[in-house]
Amino acid sequence: MSNAGATLNGLEGKVAVVTGAGRMRSIGRQVAVGLAGAGCDVVVTGSGRPPEQYPPEEREAGWRDVDSVAEEIRAAGRRALPLAADVADLAAVQTLAERVLAELGRVDIVVNNAAAARGEDRRPVVDVEPELWEKVLAVNLTGTFFVCKVFGRKMIEAGRGGSIVNVSSIAAKRCDPNNSAYAASKAGIQALTACMAREVGRYGIRVNAVCPGLIDTHRMDDLSRSDAWRSAVGAIPLGRAGTGDDIAHTVTFLCSDEASWITGQTWNVDGGTVIH
């Protein structure tokens, strides 16, 4: 992967697993394609949603979830393995890991990007239904834990080191009202990242987190370029919403040899919205 004359090393021939990578306008898709462009073979996972649940823009484009992302990876000259996987189900994650090793022979990079959709949990704590709270934490936090646990063990057993990047959010640092379940789940990811980094460093495995700010993806379409959207963009010091590529560039760097002395860190990628 080259950028302004700089080359990222150590990614050629590596196998990366990217969860939550099936949406057309998403962070996961861009991370998967970015890693392929840097030389990785990529496992792309999604929830296995049926086509009738695709948004109109995906249906109009003939989008086919992780299969479409896999085509982009293959077009970049790399191997791709598209799979449906429920990260909140430990048995499903174990099956995913076995399938990856059986078909691609190794795993070097894991990017935990799968997340629960924005929904009715976005309300005051006293009004959040317990089942909604549990659903958000099951996917965002417990799912990340399951993937770290299962793939981390495989990396330790292989003895080749590796890199895990967990996608958190600046929401965990801003702690805005009506955001408790999401913010708590993402704050948990940051704690999980820091603890695991200290545990697996001796095996040459690095664990970091990325905190995206306002990213222009399908997840934010409920704002529909509303006054709230324009206000949020206006509050960003760099004056624009982020893109999936903005996150993908950071993730790819963190997985490269150039980041070989970076672990246990949480990086904001948010146009300057949060300065800590």
The pLDDT-based confidence of 118 (bands split at 50, 70, 90) is: confident
pTM for the whole structure: 0.95
Tell me: pLDDT of 4 over 80. Answer: no
User: ∠ at Cα 202 (200, 203), nearest 5°?
Assistant: 70
Query: What is each CA distance from 213 to 57, 99, 152, 193, in whole angstroms?
Result: 23, 33, 27, 18
Say what the pLDDT of residue 7 is.
Answer: 83
Q: What distance in Å separates the CA atoms of residue 5 and residue 3, rounded to the nearest whole number?
A: 5
**Mean pLDDT, rounded, for 190-213:** 98
Say what the pLDDT of residue 154 is.
Answer: 98
Say what the pLDDT of residue 225 is.
Answer: 65
Is residue 203 part of the annotated active site? The answer reads no
Say what the pLDDT of residue 227 is.
Answer: 87
**Mean pLDDT, rounded, for 156-180:** 97
Under DSSP, the state recorded for 5 is: T
Say what the pLDDT of residue 3 is.
Answer: 44
8 and 45 Cβ atoms separated by less than 8 Å: no
Tell me: pLDDT of 60 over 80. Answer: yes
Tell me: pLDDT of 1 over 70. Answer: no
Catalytic residue, candidates 139, 182, 208, 269:
182
Tell me: pLDDT of 221 over 80. Answer: no
**Mean pLDDT, rounded, for 229-258:** 96
Q: What distance in Å separates the CA atoms of residue 186 and residue 209, rounded to the nearest whole number?
A: 10
Q: What distance in Å separates the CA atoms of residue 188 and residue 255, rounded to the nearest whole number?
A: 22
Q: How would you classify the pairing of strands 2-3 and 6-7? A: antiparallel
% pLDDT > 70, the chain: 96
The pLDDT-based confidence of 117 (bands split at 50, 70, 90) is: confident
**Mean pLDDT, rounded, for 246-271:** 98
Average pLDDT over the chain reads 94
% pLDDT > 90, the chain: 87
Tell me: pLDDT of 229 over 90. Answer: no
Tell me: pLDDT of 5 over 70. Answer: no
Q: Domains along the chain?
A: 8-269 (3.40.50.720)
Q: Which residue has the higher pLDDT, 75 or 223?
A: 75
The pLDDT-based confidence of 220 (bands split at 50, 70, 90) is: confident
Tell me: pLDDT of 21 over 90. Answer: yes
The pLDDT-based confidence of 46 (bands split at 50, 70, 90) is: very high
Say what the pLDDT of residue 224 is.
Answer: 59
Tell me: pLDDT of 2 over 70. Answer: no
